[in-house]
Amino acid sequence: MQDLNLLRVLVAIHECQTVTGAANRLNMSQPTVSQALSRLRDITGDSLFLRGPQGMSPTAHATHLYRECAIALHRLDHALKADEPFVPAKAKEHFTIALSDLGEMTFLPPIAEALASIAPSIRLDIVPLAVHEVEQKLKLRQIDFAVGNLKKIDPDLRQRDLFEENYVALIRKNHPTIGNTLSLDEFLANGHAVVNGASEHWQVSSLATVGGPKPAQVHIVLPHFTALPFVISQSDLIGVLPSRTAESFSERFNLRWLPLPFVMPNFKVRLLWHGGQTLRSDARNWMVEQMSDILQNFQPCPYDYHRTPEELS
């Protein structure tokens, strides 16, 4: 049984890419996992994992062992637990979810609220959403899920459409020059606070496509969305952001949102995960359904974003 636990350690390190992550997943101490890795190295005569900037990189032999062991352990666990289904109320799973800062502020609160009542011992580790790294991290099992303006390319990954989203303008409630509607002239005449570096969202370069020869003026460029509602609440600047986040900010920061005075394409928010069989497939599949139910029922702004600005006026 001890040797079997060594194989579990190998699988966990391969999927988590860190000793600390493997220890958390297996509910072991970090020294215990390190000792197990040392024993594995002695038994196999191979380094198995090498430290690098992205964590513990597996050797070719470690990857070969992982492929064989992951499948075997999955089947063994299913055989041993044939009459012991996954029970959310008793589960102590750890899931790593990649979210943008918008996702952290908008999606994480309802997820946390729901899990607190149905699976109180589940732990969520939230990491930044780097769009260009998502697929690789999912394949390496460095993250379990990613939520955002994403679209999978790799056939080994799975995705689920959660909802369609649109952009709106966010301003302070007592804005001195903007009333109940926002015209294109008003949009261009007022200064803007923009988040740069959010490659999947509206940013500085987006303003260049609006207004023709007289583009909107950018007054503040922020590295992330966290500060945006504070800036807008204490200035006359305009921010452009997804409607669900705008609705959330409006309630919390005494702001209001308005439809944009021009048509912008909608985008889909998706949930991505790795579809392969692992020791945690039952828990992962349960979590997919929970996150889907929670976020698909997330209420949008009461505004028909399929209509044109002329129809809205």
What confidence tens digit (pLDDT) does each residue in 52-86 have? 877 888 999 999 898 888 878 877 776 666 556 78
What confidence tens digit (pLDDT) does each residue in 205-250 have? 566 566 555 778 889 999 888 899 999 999 999 999 999 999 989 9
The domain 4-81: what is its CATH number? Answer: 1.10.10.10
CA distances from 53 to 18, 56, 57, 134, 194 (A): 11, 8, 9, 17, 31
Instruction: Label residue 93 by pLDDT band (50, 70, 90).
Output: confident
Q: Which of 160-164, 173-177, 267-271, 278-282 has the lowest mean pLDDT?
A: 278-282
**Looking up tokens 């000793």, which residue turns up?**
19
Could you tell me the residue ranges of all domains in the chain?
4-81, 91-165+267-297, 167-259
Q: What span, in angstroms and rounded, lies between the C-alpha atoms of 98 and 72? A: 28
Report, at the CATH architecture level, how domain 91-165+267-297 is classified.
3-Layer(aba) Sandwich (3.40)
Same fold for the domain at 4-81 and the one at 167-259? no
Task: Give CB contacts under 8 A, 24+ apart, made by 244-250.
Answer: 244/106, 244/165, 244/298, 244/299, 244/300, 244/301, 245/102, 245/105, 245/106, 246/168, 246/170, 246/301, 247/299, 247/300, 247/301, 248/105, 248/106, 249/170, 250/170
Q: Are 145 and 257 in contact (CB under 8 A)?
A: no
Domain 167-259, CATH among 3.30.365.10, 3.40.190.10, 3.50.50.60, 1.10.3720.10: 3.40.190.10
Contacts of 135 (CB under 8 A, 6+ apart): 152, 153, 154, 157, 272
Contacts of 214 (CB under 8 A, 6+ apart): 188
Is residue 212 left, alpha or beta, with left meaning phi > 0 and alpha meaning psi from -120 to 50? left
Q: What span, in angstroms and rounded, lies between the C-alpha atoms of 188 and 218? A: 10
Q: Is pLDDT at 312 greater than 90 in this prediction? A: no
How high is the pLDDT of residue 308?
43
Of the two residues 118 and 216, the one the predictor is more confident about is: 118
* pTM of this structure: 0.71
Q: What span, in angstroms and rounded, lies between the C-alpha atoms of 73 and 47? A: 22
Q: What span, in angstroms and rounded, lies between the C-alpha atoms of 82 and 268? A: 38
**Looking up tokens 């261009």, which residue turns up?**
188
